[in-house]
Structure 1
Amino acid sequence: MMNREELIKKWLDNNLNTEEQKAFKLLEDYNNLTKMDASLKGFKAPKFSVEKSYRTLKPQLKPEQSSSKKWLKPLLRIAAVVAIALSVYIYTSNLDTEINTFVAEQNTIALPDNSTVELNANSSLSFNENSWADNREVKLNGEAFFKVAKGQQFDVITSSGTVTVLGTQFNVKERESYFEVTCYEGLVGVTHNNKTITLKPGQTFAFIDGKLLANEKENAVQPNWLHGESSFKSVALKHVITEIKNQYNVSINVEDIDTSRLFTGSFTHNNLDLALKSVTIPLNLSYSKSGQSILLKRE
């Protein structure tokens, strides 16, 4: 069980999962913490120095009078509380909002400018709401479909490259050795390895396993994963296996199989056996299940 300090820290980072959120609400000072957080969001205090304030008050203090000692300590305590509150406010106002999805989970996110993001399974998205008016920027790890409201430049930053638009619809997938951007509406700029290309509707940029793949025309108006299906065009089996694990809570092992073999096809997100058959049959493979563990093998 996570202790109180760890729960509060994750709460300040906006990073509590469902179970941790329940535990946080059971804390004795939960109401006080949430009230303080709500107050601090609208709190803008001038710069305050305990030491400077004390030097200003010191000439007026009369050490020989015991009454001065009675209110000096409370005064310093109040000053310390204000300083701590100001520090917490500055800290929380600079925090990014982070949204995470688990295996087999998707989430719809509304950004401050009414842009929307559909976050695919096992992915994360972060942005800073306080600086959003001047800097429309999100960080993505995983896969997401964006509908961007028209306005100033909008950047999606990944470890593989940056996607830049003004207002459009596009999909970004960034996983291990896999970076793919598809434009569905408007124009999309993709910066990768210090080079920038522009995608028109239906065009895709794909850099997979260190290779730039041919740009094939995409006729769909949205990615298939939004409708419960993952699709691939000449993609190595290892990436297909990774996506199955993202959509189902299973582990997958391979037995004497070349996972660099290319797969073209799709699998459903709501039926594990059907998904496995959709992938294994075209490649002349078979599978066996033991609990949440799956073994892929040759026929």
Structure 2
Amino acid sequence: MNREELIKKWLDHNLTPEEQIAFEQLEDAKPLTQMDETLKGFKNEGLSIDHSYLALQKELKLRQHKKSSWLKPALKITAILVLGLSLYYYTATLDTAVETPIAQQSTVALPDASVVELNANSKLVFNKGRWSETRSVNLEGEAFFKVAKGATFDVITPQGLVTVLGTQFNVKQRQNYFEVTCYEGAVAVTHQDQSFNLKPGDTYSSIYGMTSTKTANNPEQPEWLLGESSFKSVPLQYVLMELENQYDITITPQDIDSSRLFTGSFTHNDLDLALQSVTIPLNLNYTISGKSILIQRE
């Protein structure tokens, strides 16, 4: 196997034991290994072996014809160039992801001083490197946004798009459930190829494809930030799902109609009280067994 093939296989981490010995006997082995150690912390899947090899190919070919003292400085320069490209690629494409486990919440500060309160069992993804070009986040779950004034701010969810300039609003996206409530400013919602404009107090919701827009005297922020989940004419199955999110439990409904509408609330700091708040108005019973809850008719 010739020298170039050995080096390319080394870049690909694909040397056999015999080839590794042959590679280590090359005069170039030591500087190449040192360069590899320098770049280890900055490697990214987006940088292919072929690109790395092309970055070195010119020096490697010249090295075959002229063994001189300039090789190591040239390799160092190449290493700096590759390192710079790696850093640029890494910082430009790296996303920041914040996930909250069940029964926990977190606060996320965005690059423009906007603040996101992330509810339990939710995920927020954004890119710091591209933030000056586009203010956008991806959301799965539920979050309350306090957006700093500036360019357009987008919240992208699997079910719909929320666009604002500077405002406060809540977005909830769960399985077949999408809800946006405006608390301050104005919010544009795009869902199922239709657009809706919300003013303070307005809520747009879509549950199993059934959409509605309603106006109410909403408080300054969603109640879940105060340790309580509140519902207005929401199918019971989503109320039970939210109980699971806030208490890290598994609820099994038995012989009950989970599509029944529920209006009310439950606390996040007392499981028994929360279960009573949901079951008593609907004439249901519950049984607790560890982290498993059975809900059935009285």
Q: TM-score, normalised by structure 2?
A: 0.77
Are 1:260 and 2:256 an aligned pair?
no
Contact between 1:204 and 1:218, CA under 8 Å: does it hold in 2?
Answer: no
1:150 counterpart residue number: 149
Q: Which aligned pairs between 1:98-247 and structure 2 lie closer than 5 A?
A: 98-247=97-246
1:131-161 Cα shifts (integer Å, max 9, x gaps): 1011000000000000000000000000111
1:49 counterpart residue number: 55
Q: CA deviation at 1:90?
A: 1.3
Name the CA distance, whole Å, in 2 between partners of 1:58 and 1:152.
Answer: 55
Amino acid at match of 1:217: A
Name the CA distance, whole Å, in 1 between partners of 2:41 and 2:102.
Answer: 34
SS of the equivalent of 2:215 reads coil
Q: CA deviation at 1:79?
A: 4.3
Name the CA distance, whole Å, in 2 between partners of 1:84 and 1:132.
Answer: 23
Contact between 1:241 and 1:252, CA under 8 Å: does it hold in 2?
Answer: yes
2:6 counterpart residue number: none
Amino acid at match of 1:137: S
Root-mean-square deviation over aligned CA pairs: 2.6
Q: CA deviation at 1:87?
A: 3.3
Q: Which has the larger radius of gyration?
A: 2
Q: CA deviation at 1:50?
A: 1.1
Q: CA deviation at 1:163?
A: 0.3
2:286 counterpart residue number: 287
Contact between 1:101 and 1:120, CA under 8 Å: does it hold in 2?
Answer: yes
Q: CA deviation at 1:254?
A: 1.0
Name the CA distance, whole Å, in 1 between partners of 2:84 and 2:213.
Answer: 55
Amino acid at match of 1:204: T
Q: TM-score, normalised by structure 1?
A: 0.77
Which structure 1 segments of 5+ residues have no match? 1-31, 38-46, 63-67
Amino acid at match of 1:282: P
1:41-91 Cα shifts (integer Å, max 9, x gaps): xxxxxx9821133445655x14xxxxx5x9858965884686367436513
SS of the equivalent of 1:53 reads helix
Contact between 2:59 and 2:75, CA under 8 Å: does it hold in 1?
Answer: no
Contact between 2:59 and 2:74, CA under 8 Å: does it hold in 1?
Answer: no
2:4 counterpart residue number: none
1:200-259 Cα shifts (integer Å, max 9, x gaps): 000000011110124132431110000000000000000000000000011110110110
SS of the equivalent of 2:285 reads strand
Name the CA distance, whole Å, in 1 between partners of 2:118 and 2:70.
Answer: 55
Are 1:272 and 2:271 an aligned pair?
yes
Contact between 1:171 and 1:182, CA under 8 Å: does it hold in 2?
Answer: yes
